[in-house]
Structure 1
Amino acid sequence: MQRHPNLVPLSHEHKSLLFVCRYLKKDAAPYEGYPLDAVSKMAYMVKVFQEIMVPHIQKEDYLFEQCRGHRADMDALLDELIAEHRIISGMYSALVDSADPVEAMDQLARSLEDHIRKEERVVFEKMQEELPEVIAALRFE
């Protein structure tokens, strides 16, 4: 299903974040211009979380708020995603104190990747099918 124009910006951000997930994994292939040492990866991840992830989560929280209360099954999915946002944010916050930052970044990357794939493959599709009027009325500030 083609993405509704109001969801396209979030999907584009997801695409960027999926690259970050691949880069942060401990078995990441070399990417030109991206160092693979843990300190550099950590610095890159901090930048991405501050510049992309935090505003992205805020936009999704707004989206989820608009979609709540219409269908019980959708509300249950949204509750899962909101909980995952908290878990992923907590994993990010815990990195500075991690005894094994490479493993912690790998776990964060894998959790974020699973989360994004659920949003794209399940939730956004379901929103478009079941709540088209809500999606059409979205206005991100």
Structure 2
Amino acid sequence: MKRHESLYPLSHHHHHALVMAVDMTKVGTDQQKYGYRDMLRQLIHFWETDGEQHFVDEETVLIPLYLAYGEEVDHDAVKRMLYEHAQIRGYVHQLRHSTRAMTEEMQALGQLLQDHIRFEERDLFPKAEEQVPEKYLYQANGQFKRDSYSGF
């Protein structure tokens, strides 16, 4: 899907999170690429370098612009995004602070991340791109944290 260039940093984060999410859903199965502890280390690293700030960027930059300039704001989509952000934060906290392997929770987080990313990329971002004036999208771009993997 073609994305407005101002949202490239967010989409780059999504790409890396999506790859990791697929691996998370396979933890504890015959298809696992990484064991639980290795996957947990990857999750924590991603969360600390990109994931947590990614949510802040969406919640404090992109969504306020969408709400301010959108003439037909999809409030249910915004609520869904915020709710899923809270769910994801909850899973990350739970996994980080557990003293035991939580394979089912890791798999559930992986599935939630996949669904969440696809929702934002296919539904929420196109609506914001369509309704927020381009000059404000470009201004927002300067406020997004760059992806630590690709530099975008």
Same fold, judged at TM 0.5 (above) = yes
Normalising by structure 2, what TM-score?
A: 0.78
1:63 aligns with 2:62: yes
1:9-88 to 2 correspondence within 5 Å? 9-26=9-26, 27=29, 29=31, 31=33, 36-61=34-59, 62-69=61-68, 70-71=70-71, 73-88=73-88
User: How big is the alpha-carbon RMSD for the aligned residues of Structure 1 and Structure 2?
Assistant: 2.2
Letter in 2 for 1:140: Q
Identity of aligned residues (%): 26
Letter in 2 for 1:114: D
Contact 1:6 1:136 in 2 (8 A): yes
Unaligned runs of 5+ in 1: none
| Aligned length, in residue pairs | 137
Deviation at 1:82, TM superposition (A): 1.0
2-side partners of 1:114 and 1:9: how far apart? 19
Q: 1:4–1:11: structure 2 CA closer, same or farther, 3 Å change rule?
A: same
Unaligned runs of 5+ in 2: 145-152
1:102 aligns with 2:103: yes
Contact 1:127 1:135 in 2 (8 A): no
Runs of 4+ in 1 over 6 A off after TM superposition: none
Contact 1:24 1:106 in 2 (8 A): yes
